[in-house]
Protein backbone atom coordinates (compact mmCIF):
# COMPACT_ATOMS: atom_id res chain seq x y z
CA UNK A 1 0.00 0.00 0.00
CA UNK A 2 1.52 3.32 -1.08
CA UNK A 3 -0.18 5.69 1.36
CA UNK A 4 3.24 7.22 2.10
CA UNK A 5 3.44 8.85 -1.35
CA UNK A 6 4.94 12.34 -1.23
CA UNK A 7 4.00 13.51 -4.74
CA UNK A 8 0.34 14.48 -4.29
CA UNK A 9 -0.24 18.01 -5.58
CA UNK A 10 -3.54 18.71 -3.81
CA UNK A 11 -5.03 17.63 -0.50
CA UNK A 12 -8.84 17.49 -0.47
CA UNK A 13 -10.74 16.77 2.75
CA UNK A 14 -14.36 15.64 3.04
CA UNK A 15 -16.16 16.34 6.30
CA UNK A 16 -19.13 13.98 6.24
CA UNK A 17 -20.90 15.25 9.32
CA UNK A 18 -23.93 14.16 11.30
CA UNK A 19 -25.88 17.35 10.61
CA UNK A 20 -23.81 19.15 7.96
CA UNK A 21 -21.20 18.13 5.40
CA UNK A 22 -18.72 19.84 3.15
CA UNK A 23 -15.24 19.76 1.71
CA UNK A 24 -12.11 21.88 1.47
CA UNK A 25 -8.87 21.65 -0.47
CA UNK A 26 -5.44 23.19 -0.76
CA UNK A 27 -2.52 22.74 -3.11
CA UNK A 28 0.83 21.69 -1.70
CA UNK A 29 2.39 24.93 -2.95
CA UNK A 30 -0.25 27.04 -1.24
CA UNK A 31 0.18 25.10 2.00
CA UNK A 32 3.95 25.71 1.99
CA UNK A 33 3.55 29.46 1.56
CA UNK A 34 0.30 30.05 3.48
CA UNK A 35 -1.00 27.01 5.45
CA UNK A 36 -4.41 28.54 6.14
CA UNK A 37 -5.14 29.40 2.50
CA UNK A 38 -7.85 26.79 2.04
CA UNK A 39 -10.59 26.72 -0.59
CA UNK A 40 -14.12 25.54 0.25
CA UNK A 41 -17.43 25.51 -1.55
CA UNK A 42 -20.27 27.89 -0.72
CA UNK A 43 -23.58 26.07 -0.47
CA UNK A 44 -26.86 27.94 -0.90
CA UNK A 45 -30.10 26.85 0.73
CA UNK A 46 -32.89 29.39 0.45
CA UNK A 47 -31.49 32.59 1.96
CA UNK A 48 -28.68 30.69 3.72
CA UNK A 49 -25.11 30.67 2.41
CA UNK A 50 -22.72 28.34 4.19
CA UNK A 51 -19.47 26.44 3.75
CA UNK A 52 -21.40 23.29 4.66
CA UNK A 53 -24.64 21.80 3.43
CA UNK A 54 -27.07 19.60 5.32
CA UNK A 55 -26.35 15.87 5.50
CA UNK A 56 -29.46 14.82 3.61
CA UNK A 57 -29.74 12.57 0.58
CA UNK A 58 -32.58 11.71 -1.78
CA UNK A 59 -32.89 8.54 -3.86
CA UNK A 60 -35.44 7.23 -6.32
CA UNK A 61 -37.52 4.49 -4.73
CA UNK A 62 -36.77 1.80 -7.30
CA UNK A 63 -34.60 -1.29 -7.65
CA UNK A 64 -31.58 0.63 -8.88
CA UNK A 65 -31.54 3.00 -5.87
CA UNK A 66 -30.73 6.00 -8.06
CA UNK A 67 -29.05 8.94 -6.38
CA UNK A 68 -31.00 12.16 -6.96
CA UNK A 69 -29.80 15.02 -4.76
CA UNK A 70 -27.72 15.82 -1.70
CA UNK A 71 -27.76 18.54 0.94
CA UNK A 72 -29.96 21.61 0.72
CA UNK A 73 -31.04 20.51 -2.76
CA UNK A 74 -32.31 17.20 -1.33
CA UNK A 75 -34.24 19.03 1.39
CA UNK A 76 -35.88 21.38 -1.10
CA UNK A 77 -36.72 18.64 -3.60
CA UNK A 78 -38.26 16.37 -0.96
CA UNK A 79 -40.31 19.26 0.44
CA UNK A 80 -41.66 19.98 -3.04
CA UNK A 81 -42.52 16.33 -3.58
CA UNK A 82 -44.26 16.19 -0.19
CA UNK A 83 -46.39 19.24 -1.03
CA UNK A 84 -47.62 17.42 -4.14
CA UNK A 85 -47.95 14.12 -2.24
CA UNK A 86 -45.34 12.55 -4.52
CA UNK A 87 -42.77 11.88 -1.78
CA UNK A 88 -43.71 8.19 -1.47
CA UNK A 89 -41.75 7.53 -4.66
CA UNK A 90 -38.47 8.51 -2.98
CA UNK A 91 -36.14 7.53 -0.16
CA UNK A 92 -35.04 10.50 1.95
CA UNK A 93 -32.32 10.13 4.59
CA UNK A 94 -31.46 12.91 7.03
CA UNK A 95 -28.80 13.00 9.76
CA UNK A 96 -28.16 9.29 9.38
CA UNK A 97 -24.38 9.20 9.90
CA UNK A 98 -24.35 8.17 13.56
CA UNK A 99 -26.74 5.31 12.85
CA UNK A 100 -23.62 3.52 11.65
CA UNK A 101 -22.08 3.77 15.11
CA UNK A 102 -25.35 2.70 16.68
CA UNK A 103 -25.22 -0.52 14.63
CA UNK A 104 -28.39 0.33 12.70
CA UNK A 105 -26.49 -0.32 9.52
CA UNK A 106 -27.72 1.72 6.60
CA UNK A 107 -26.76 0.39 3.20
CA UNK A 108 -23.23 1.20 2.07
CA UNK A 109 -24.89 2.52 -1.07
CA UNK A 110 -26.15 5.52 0.93
CA UNK A 111 -22.74 6.43 2.33
CA UNK A 112 -20.83 5.84 -0.89
CA UNK A 113 -23.34 7.90 -2.91
CA UNK A 114 -22.91 10.85 -0.54
CA UNK A 115 -19.12 10.60 -0.57
CA UNK A 116 -19.13 10.33 -4.38
CA UNK A 117 -21.28 13.45 -4.71
CA UNK A 118 -18.94 15.46 -2.44
CA UNK A 119 -15.85 14.05 -4.18
CA UNK A 120 -17.11 14.86 -7.68
CA UNK A 121 -18.25 18.34 -6.68
CA UNK A 122 -14.87 18.97 -5.05
CA UNK A 123 -12.94 17.82 -8.12
CA UNK A 124 -14.98 20.24 -10.21
CA UNK A 125 -13.98 23.13 -7.95
CA UNK A 126 -10.32 22.06 -7.90
CA UNK A 127 -10.17 22.01 -11.69
CA UNK A 128 -11.51 25.55 -11.87
CA UNK A 129 -8.24 26.57 -10.19
CA UNK A 130 -5.97 23.81 -11.51
CA UNK A 131 -7.31 22.64 -14.89
CA UNK A 132 -4.47 20.18 -15.49
CA UNK A 133 -4.85 18.30 -12.21
CA UNK A 134 -5.28 14.53 -12.48
CA UNK A 135 -7.27 12.32 -10.15
CA UNK A 136 -4.05 10.60 -9.06
CA UNK A 137 -2.61 13.99 -8.00
CA UNK A 138 -5.18 14.34 -5.21
CA UNK A 139 -4.72 13.08 -1.67
CA UNK A 140 -8.17 12.54 -0.14
CA UNK A 141 -8.83 12.89 3.58
CA UNK A 142 -12.05 11.56 5.08
CA UNK A 143 -12.72 12.55 8.68
CA UNK A 144 -14.44 10.24 11.17
CA UNK A 145 -15.44 10.68 14.83
CA UNK A 146 -12.94 9.56 17.46
CA UNK A 147 -15.49 7.13 18.92
CA UNK A 148 -15.55 5.04 15.73
CA UNK A 149 -13.41 1.92 15.53
CA UNK A 150 -14.57 -0.92 13.29
CA UNK A 151 -16.64 1.61 11.36
CA UNK A 152 -13.48 3.18 9.92
CA UNK A 153 -13.21 0.19 7.60
CA UNK A 154 -16.83 0.69 6.57
CA UNK A 155 -16.04 4.29 5.59
CA UNK A 156 -12.88 3.20 3.75
CA UNK A 157 -14.90 0.69 1.73
CA UNK A 158 -17.59 3.31 1.09
CA UNK A 159 -14.92 5.70 -0.20
CA UNK A 160 -13.54 3.00 -2.50
CA UNK A 161 -17.02 2.41 -3.89
CA UNK A 162 -17.28 6.19 -4.42
CA UNK A 163 -14.17 6.12 -6.60
CA UNK A 164 -11.47 7.09 -4.11
CA UNK A 165 -8.66 4.49 -4.34
CA UNK A 166 -7.23 3.25 -1.07
CA UNK A 167 -3.72 4.45 -1.93
CA UNK A 168 -5.04 8.02 -2.21
CA UNK A 169 -7.15 7.94 0.96
CA UNK A 170 -6.30 8.95 4.50
CA UNK A 171 -8.83 8.33 7.27
CA UNK A 172 -8.39 11.05 9.91
CA UNK A 173 -9.94 11.33 13.36
CA UNK A 174 -11.85 14.60 13.67
CA UNK A 175 -10.13 15.83 16.89
CA UNK A 176 -6.68 15.02 15.52
CA UNK A 177 -7.40 16.95 12.31
CA UNK A 178 -8.56 19.89 14.43
CA UNK A 179 -5.42 19.68 16.54
CA UNK A 180 -3.21 19.94 13.46
CA UNK A 181 -5.18 22.95 12.25
CA UNK A 182 -4.74 24.65 15.61
CA UNK A 183 -0.97 24.66 15.11
CA UNK A 184 -1.46 27.27 12.38
CA UNK A 185 -4.43 29.22 13.81
CA UNK A 186 -4.16 32.15 16.24
CA UNK A 187 -5.95 31.41 19.50
CA UNK A 188 -8.29 34.38 19.02
CA UNK A 189 -9.77 32.79 15.88
CA UNK A 190 -10.67 29.42 17.42
CA UNK A 191 -14.35 28.68 17.93
CA UNK A 192 -16.68 25.73 17.64
CA UNK A 193 -19.59 23.72 18.94
CA UNK A 194 -19.22 20.10 20.03
CA UNK A 195 -15.70 19.46 21.27
CA UNK A 196 -13.41 16.42 21.16
CA UNK A 197 -10.03 16.69 22.84
CA UNK A 198 -6.72 15.36 21.53
CA UNK A 199 -3.39 16.56 22.94
CA UNK A 200 -0.30 16.34 20.73
CA UNK A 201 3.26 16.82 21.93
CA UNK A 202 5.45 18.06 19.10
CA UNK A 203 8.59 15.94 19.13
CA UNK A 204 12.05 16.93 17.86
CA UNK A 205 12.02 16.59 14.09
CA UNK A 206 8.34 17.56 13.78
CA UNK A 207 6.66 14.28 14.74
CA UNK A 208 3.77 13.92 17.19
CA UNK A 209 3.15 12.07 20.40
CA UNK A 210 -0.54 11.68 21.35
Provide the residue-wise pLDDT of the chain in tens; the chain has 210 residues.
344 456 899 999 999 888 899 999 999 888 888 888 889 999 998 788 899 999 999 998 775 668 899 999 999 999 999 988 888 888 888 887 776 655 554 668 888 999 999 999 999 999 999 999 999 999 999 988 877 666 788 889 999 999 999 999 999 888 788 777 777 777 665 566 666 667 778 888 777 777
CA 50 from chain centre, in angstroms, equals 15
Domain of 122, in residue numbers: 10-54+98-173
148 and 135 within one domain: yes
Q: Per the domain annotation, does 75 fall within a domain?
A: yes
145 and 67 within one domain: no
Query: Residue 183 phi/psi, 5° resolution?
Result: -65, -25
Q: Per the domain annotation, does 169 fall within a domain?
A: yes
Q: Does pTM surpass 0.85? A: no
* Number of domain units in the chain: 2
Q: Per the domain annotation, does 207 fall within a domain?
A: no
Q: Specify whether the CB–CB gap between 119 and 163 falls below 8 A.
A: yes
Amino acid sequence: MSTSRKDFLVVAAIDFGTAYSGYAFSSIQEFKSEPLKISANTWIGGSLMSQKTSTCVLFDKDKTFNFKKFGFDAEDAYADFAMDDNHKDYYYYRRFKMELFNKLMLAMDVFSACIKFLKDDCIGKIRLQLPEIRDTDIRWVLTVPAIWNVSKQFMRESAAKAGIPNESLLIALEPEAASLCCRHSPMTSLKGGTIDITVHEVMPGGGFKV
